[in-house]
Chain A
Amino acid sequence: MTVDKGNKLARVSLDNGSGEKLATDPKLDSGSQKRIGDQLRAMYDELMQQPVPDRFRDLLEQLDKNGQKDGSQ
């Protein structure tokens, strides 16, 4: 009897917790979440649009030349 009850309770709590353990963490409302996301992407987009510094182009070209010369590096 007591065992049955225990099983039922366990099943109920499993059903309630179907959304992983995240369900116990507080969550932001969707409006705030969107606002944070928008600001994050705006900041990131600005960084993505910065011109690629010459050093990276030079680096890859340099390696290409070296590679053709001696096949190492």
Chain B
Amino acid sequence: MTSEPEPELREALLAAVPSLRAFAISLSGQVDRADDLVQDTLLRALSNLHRFEPGTNLNAWLFTILRNLFHSEYRKRRREIEDPDGSYAGRLKVQPEQGAHLDFEDFRSALSQLPSDQREALLLVGASGFSYEEAANICGCAVGTIKSRVNRARIRLASLLNVDDIDDLGPDSMTRAALQG
């Protein structure tokens, strides 16, 4: 009966959109697909508002929904790929919307090479600002598992990006150069 979102809640949902999008884009690697995921997440959240416990972390709840949608959709799409007419591959190449240009090409490509469980753990803890405990709740696994996934993700990224090789260079040498110049 009274399931319409209250103005405060609507604002809270709207405020969560940028971080949901950032997570969805980083997880899926595609802006258009990420926006569909965010939209489905909002709709799912609105129809399940009675299951949200007031006073608990709204963002963590929304991230849990988005993450579960991403994984169930991923499984569905894997079945679709069996379809050999090439239309799926064609759709994969859809360009991001105008104005949604994505930077950090190298980093993004390295991120996309991680197994998805490591990628999501790193994104939740290293970028979205969740604690290991919150990330474990969102992914439905043990805290130790999250810690291990984050650790492995960092090691893999470091080797993909050759971070080890530039230990003595990077920002510090740039700062020095700037100070000298």
Residues of A at under 8 Å CB distance from B?
20-22, 25-29, 31-33, 35-44, 46-50, 52-53, 55-57, 59-61, 63-64, 66-68, 71-73
Contact = CB atoms under 8 A, between A and B. Distances in A.
Given A20-B147, A47-B26, A63-B5, A42 B104 contact: yes
A48 B10 CA distance: 19
B86 interface: no
26 contacts: A22-B147, A26-B155, A29-B167, A32-B164, A33-B154, A39-B104, A39-B161, A41-B127, A43-B108, A43-B111, A43-B127, A44-B22, A46-B104, A47-B21, A48-B18, A48-B21, A52-B17, A56-B17, A59-B39, A60-B5, A60-B42, A63-B4, A63-B10, A64-B4, A66-B4, A71-B4
A25 B122 CA distance: 16
Given A28-B154, A32-B163, A50-B18, A67 B4 contact: yes
Nearest to A65: B4
Contacts of A32: 154, 158, 163-164, 167
Given A32-B158, A52-B14, 10 more contacts: A28-B151, A28-B158, A32-B163, A44-B123, A46-B104, A59-B39, A63-B46, A64-B5, A67-B3, A73-B3
Given A28-B158, A60-B42, A41 B126 contact: yes
Contacts of A25: 148, 151-152
A73 B4 CA distance: 7
Interface residues of B, number: 49
Interface in B104-153: 104, 107-108, 111, 122-123, 126-128, 144, 147-148, 151-152
B148 A40 contact: no
A32 B163 CA distance: 6
A27 B151 contact: yes
Contacts of A72: 1, 3
